[in-house]
Structure 1
Amino acid sequence: MMEKHVQEFAFMKCLPALTLAAAMATVGTMIPVASQADTSPHSGPAQATASTQYPVPTFEGEWAIMAMDPVKVAGNRALGPAARLLVTLPDSLQKIVGQNHFSLSRQSGSAWQGKQDDLTVTFKLVSENSAELHISGKENHKLDLPLYRNN
């Protein structure tokens, strides 16, 4: 009879440990495992995708072009559909394009686009530190510029 009570007592002592293990196993299946980013020293900046949602301040600033004054990008204070990026080209590009101020609206999380007169201008982030500026005009004239953050 005494052995039965000793066995029950031993079982009761391990019961909290079993309950804790079961709870941890249950919680472990409910919480998704976070994917670990590649933290190797050779990994570059994250590349933008169509679903990447960059906030407006990520686009703002000066963007360098080799051997030219930078392209200046500013955001207006509006939110939602009224938000605009204001792109100012340097004088050297204004001579080629014909104008230097453009107002762009958001097309995706990483791209803004605007149409003014005969020109379509697209400003797209490739990563947080590099972008592309595409300007196309009438008669299939195109100007594609790789840009880099001018720090």
Structure 2
Amino acid sequence: MKPRFASALIPLSLAFAAPLSAPLSALAATPKAQAPVTQAHYETAVFVGQWAIMAMDPVTVAANKATGPAERLLVTLPESLKKIVGQDKFSLTRASGSTWNGKQGDLTVTFKLVSENSAQIQITGEGTHKLDLPLYRDN
């Protein structure tokens, strides 16, 4: 008698499970449309100014007056970072709407805006030497 009772419950459980699983499988099968990723394009003037590092003097960013391919950001590190890195002045070219980079000697410097009030500077030397610092607008 028990096998008949169990066999009667199996179709009953499938009947209740089918409506619940059907919408989930339908949702899983439909691809989600993703919004296109657009990268912000900041004007050069947004990069210019004093950028604070916790417990250090600020990093100074200036721009030359040229436009187009000759346009440059001029980054000056504070004395405390100069002692670590070995130099304090860098000339960067635009890599994207929010990133500037440059290579001087054995150092590669990348300055990237995260927002209009926060940025990141990354200095990479030959080998495994890397300095990655968050910066904040120092107004």
TM-score, length-scaled by structure 2: 0.72
Query: Aligned residues: percent identity?
Result: 68
1:52 CA drift (Å): 1.1
Equivalent residue, structure 2, for 1:65: 53
Q: Which runs of structure 2 are paired with 1:44-63 in the superposition (5 Å)?
A: 51-63=39-51
Distance in 2 (alpha carbons) for counterparts of 1:138 and 1:108: 24
Gaps of 5+ in 2: 1-36
Partner residue of 1:108 out of 73, 90, 96: 96
Instruction: After the TM superposition, list the runs of 4 or more consecutive aligned residues in structure 1 that deviate by more than 3 angstroms.
Output: none
Gaps of 5+ in 1: 1-48
1:51 CA drift (Å): 2.2
Equivalent residues of 1:50, 1:110 under 8 A apart:
no
Distance in 2 (alpha carbons) for counterparts of 1:94 and 1:119: 12
Equivalent residue, structure 2, for 1:37: none
1:106 CA drift (Å): 0.1
Partner residue of 2:79 out of 67, 81, 91: 91
Q: Which runs of structure 2 are paired with 1:1-150 in the superposition (5 Å)?
A: 51-150=39-138
Q: Which amino acid aligns with 1:119?
A: L
Distance in 2 (alpha carbons) for counterparts of 1:50 and 1:99: 35
Q: CA RMSD in A?
A: 1.0
Equivalent residue, structure 2, for 1:39: none
